[in-house]
Structure 1
Amino acid sequence: MNIEITEVKEGSHAAIPAFTIDAGLTGIYTDIKRTQMMMDQLKHMGYLHGNHEGLATRLTVEETFKYHKELSGDSASVEEMLSLFGLQHVKKTKVKNLSESHRNCLSFLRPYLYAKDFLLIEEPFDRLDEEGRQVMAHLISKMRDEKKTILLLGHNLEELLLMTEDIYRIDQTGFHKMDLNEEPALSTEEEQPVIRIERIQTKHEGKTILFNPPEIDYVESVDGSAQVNVAGKGYNCTLTLQELEKQLRPYGFYRCHRSYIVNLQKVREIITWTKNSYSLKLNDRESSVIPLSRAKLAELKELLGVS
């Protein structure tokens, strides 16, 4: 099922250009204003998911599953569904007494059971803890495998990358597929840097700031430019990700994703979301979670010495 987005104008320019979303799982990386415009336009074409939607707070979690199972005619048992949603340990708890993360997972029951061909989700991992994010990632992947068309709207690129690499950004000229292609691998000769750079130069508020490599938590690509992240702040860098990869490699940095280079000394945990989706949790000020490419998993584990 393809989704047609019609143009929305603001004055003389297009706030939302016309575009066709192909069937499958697609992410739109955009701001809150454009997100609301698209939701208003597309909500009549399929199922629009919102947290806490349709929850009867006086029912227990188990009663909620029983009610919707009977209403939808789904063949899975209540116990199977509770396990799928990661809520079996709170099945006797009333909805009103659930944690916010558990409540948000439970609210996805309705779209999971009732969304037919098209599902629209705003900020799929909003206010979910780590366990809840894993549950949501698995549920969305399962619906994708059932050939449903799913559109994710969000302003957190890392979270969209957990689910798909078919991600578009919007400006007044159109929808633009984000370039997440791997840069060419460095040759063996290039892997031996001639000079070890002792400082990484960045710009912030008109100032030039130099960082020692060990200070850096990770580097990411933001709108085509490299951003160096240190102690919870992002600093623009004029070097490309490939150049930074070459310079930082001798200091224990690793290209864990097309758009990310991580300081291996900062890696605390490897998170498995689905069989094809992984992230790294860092031991930094923000406990940052960044994507890990499936193709990089085995090599990273070898570098870290973990099984």
Structure 2
Amino acid sequence: MATLSLQQWEKQNEGITLFPAFTMEVTEPSVLAVYTHTHIREVLLQAFLGKSVLSEGATIVNGDPLKKRRSFTRDVGVCRIEDGLYERIRVRDQVRLFQQLYASSWSVNEMLSIVKLQERAHLSVKQLTYSEKQRLKLVRLCAQRAPLCVFEEPDQNVDLETRRIIARLFQRLQEEGSTVLVLTGNMESAVLLAENVYRLESSGLHLVETQTENEEGEEKEEQAAVEEKEPGLPFDKIPSRVNEKLILFHPTEIDFIESVQGEVHLHVQGETFPAVFTLTELEERLQPFGFFRCHRSYIVNLQNVREIMTWTRNSYTLVLNDASQAEIPLSKTKMAALKAMLGIK
């Protein structure tokens, strides 16, 4: 059974906190995902490769602290986007190389079957499609079968079949006793591939709440009971459906909400998610949290507004305080209401 403990991992860079100290404990084989930005992901990858890039922190696998790169190589397998393959050799020979490198107990045919490349085994690697090459890269960690398997963006730009194969592979590794950790900048990938999803940012490590369809029904019943006992109590989670799962966002995570051609989207840290509720329903639910209907097609989180710009006498724009500095239209009819909310005469 693979146990993992990341104790007090922290990264400071020239006086700036990239992420504060956090601890993650995994007591049984699991499939986890950490959703974060590219620069943080690179720090995590380097740390899992055994390089001294963290300001503080220890890594413990199966009760043993990993202190040297050799122990990291033995107990932690890392599959990166930039990892290459031998393009000129046959697919079967590439798999055999992985098998021999790690003295794997899985046969070549078994590993080819796991990634559904049996019928492509006689081809050279360069003849594979992009998605098939990505599947072939994963074979290395199948052969290694380390207690901790770390994958960087494993399903980036791949086809639907490959996504399903990757999900089944991760389940197989878990059943074989490994913990799978996915590092990604795509929330949809994180939710689809992992049982538990975490978000790592400058404010720390946070568990992302998700629900299955059955749990959604139970949640609605519980919420109805709460509202019956305490009328007017605002529900503080905003759901978005991604395939068969719901992602539950806290209002403070949402930058703005947009309606485009009848479809409502939540904008969260540069990503877009389909909303479950209508714009009018969201306006009612989010008003207690400082959200404002600034336009017939937009609701904005006023906590994230940095600037109000005047374009013309009758045209205004709200500039958000985020990396993209998104500009949200503010209709003339809403300007007076906004001034009243802000206490401006």
Distance 1:174 1:3 in 2: 16
Distance 1:146 1:246 in 2: 48
Higher Rg:
2
Q: Secondary structure at the match of 2:206?
A: strand
2:19 is aligned with 1:16: yes
> Residue 48 and residue 75 in structure 1: after superposition, are their counterparts in 2 closer, same or farther (change >3 A)?
closer
Distance 2:117 2:97 in 1: 16
Structure-1 residue corresponding to 2:97: 67
- Which range moved further: 93-102 or 66-75? 66-75
In the TM superposition, what is the alpha-carbon distance from 1:68 to its structure 2 partner? Answer: 2.9
Structure-1 residue corresponding to 2:203: 173
Tell me if the contact between 2:9 and 2:21 (Cα under 8 Å) persists in the aligned partners.
yes
Q: Of residues 38, 48, 61 in structure 2, which corresponds to 1:42?
A: 48
> Residue 57 and residue 117 in structure 1: after superposition, are their counterparts in 2 closer, same or farther (change >3 A)?
same
Distance 2:164 2:261 in 1: 26
Structure-2 residue corresponding to 1:31: 37
In the TM superposition, what is the alpha-carbon distance from 1:244 to its structure 2 partner? Answer: 4.6
Unaligned runs of 5+ in 2: 51-71, 226-245, 268-274, 283-345
> Residue 243 and residue 57 in structure 1: after superposition, are their counterparts in 2 closer, same or farther (change >3 A)?
closer
> Residue 119 and residue 96 in structure 1: after superposition, are their counterparts in 2 closer, same or farther (change >3 A)?
same
Distance 1:246 1:144 in 2: 43
Q: Deviations over 1:58-88 (max 9, x none)?
A: 2111222233334433344433322211111
- Residue identity in the other structure for 1:135: I
Q: Deviations over 1:91-150 (max 9, x none)?
A: 111012211111111011111111411121111211311111111111111112222122
> Residue 170 and residue 61 in structure 1: after superposition, are their counterparts in 2 closer, same or farther (change >3 A)?
same
Larger helix fraction of residues: 2
Aligned CA-pair RMSD:
3.5
Q: Secondary structure at the match of 1:92?
A: coil
Mapping for residues 79-158 of structure 1, pairs under 5 Å: 79-158=109-188
Tell me if the contact between 1:52 and 1:103 (Cα under 8 Å) persists in the aligned partners.
no
Distance 2:176 2:249 in 1: 32
Query: What is the identity percentage for the equivalent residue pairs of Structure 1 and Structure 2?
Result: 24
Tell me if the contact between 1:144 and 1:150 (Cα under 8 Å) persists in the aligned partners.
yes
Unaligned runs of 5+ in 1: 191-218, 249-307
> Residue 186 and residue 140 in structure 1: after superposition, are their counterparts in 2 closer, same or farther (change >3 A)?
same
> Residue 91 and residue 246 in structure 1: after superposition, are their counterparts in 2 closer, same or farther (change >3 A)?
farther
TM-score, normalization by structure 2 = 0.54
